């Protein structure tokens, strides 16, 4: 028996595995982009709650681009929220120079609130 055969009807190669010929399939090539913490949280969410959507992205070769896009959107949203909240609450460089502990407390509070908004509106939506 031949190790590999080609079927002209469906244009697929088949490889002998034991007693069966299995199609030689591979995923399409995908450009690798870096995925940050927001993308990692989103992929965990997709794997757990949206398995079909996750598998569709994975098999179509679009998962990495999708996660990189979500990561960029989340990072931009987070930065924008931190800046807006700091302006609203008058958390400035002047406050940082005068009272560092108060500035750190307020910035930590702002970062936590911005993180929660990004997570609820974008990552787990």
Do 10 and 37 lie in one domain? The reply is: no
Number of domains in the chain: 2
Q: How far apart are CA 10 and CA 12, in angstroms?
A: 6
Same domain, 72 and 17: no
Report the distance separating Cα 27 and Cα 6, nearest Å: 19
Residue in 124, 87, 86, 93 with CA at minimum distance from that of residue 108: 86
pLDDT digits (tens, 9 = 90+) for 76-102: 999 999 999 999 999 999 999 999 999
Q: Which residues are registered as beta bridge partners of 5?
A: 14
The whole domain housing 101 covers: 31-123
pLDDT tens-place string over residues 32-91: 888 999 999 999 999 999 999 999 999 888 999 999 999 999 999 999 999 999 999 999
Same domain, 10 and 59: no
Q: Tell whether 17 and 74 lie within a shared domain.
A: no
Q: Whole-model pTM?
A: 0.76
Whether residue 60 is found in the same domain as residue 117: yes
8 Å CB contact between 84 and 77? no
| Residue found by looking up tokens 């399409």 in the block | 28
Is 109 a residue whose pLDDT tops 90?
A: yes
* Continuous segment of H or E residues that includes residue 14: strand 12-17
- Under DSSP, is residue 4 helix (H, G, I), strand (E, B) or coil? strand
Identify whether residues 63 and 11 lie together within a single domain.
no
Say if residue 20 is in the same domain as residue 51. Answer: no
Report how far residue 66's alpha carbon sits from residue 72's, in angstroms, rounded to the nearest whole number: 10
**Domain match, 40 and 21 both:** no
Cα–Cα distance, 30 to 65 (Å, whole number): 8
């Amino acid at each position: 028996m031949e190790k590999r055969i080609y079927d002209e009807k469906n244009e697929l190669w088949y490889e002998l595995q034991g007693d069966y010929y299995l199609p030689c399939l591979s995923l399409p090539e995908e450009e690798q982009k870096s995925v940050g913490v927001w993308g990692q949280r989103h992929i965990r969410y997709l794997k757990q709650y949206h398995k079909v959507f996750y598998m569709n992205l994975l098999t179509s070769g679009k998962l990495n681009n999708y996660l990189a896009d979500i990561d960029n959107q989340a990072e931009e949203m987070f930065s924008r929220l931190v800046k807006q909240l700091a302006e609203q609450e008058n958390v400035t460089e002047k406050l940082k120079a005068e009272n560092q502990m108060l500035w750190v407390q307020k910035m930590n509070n702002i970062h936590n609130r911005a993180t929660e908004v990004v997570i609820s509106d974008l990552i787990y939506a």
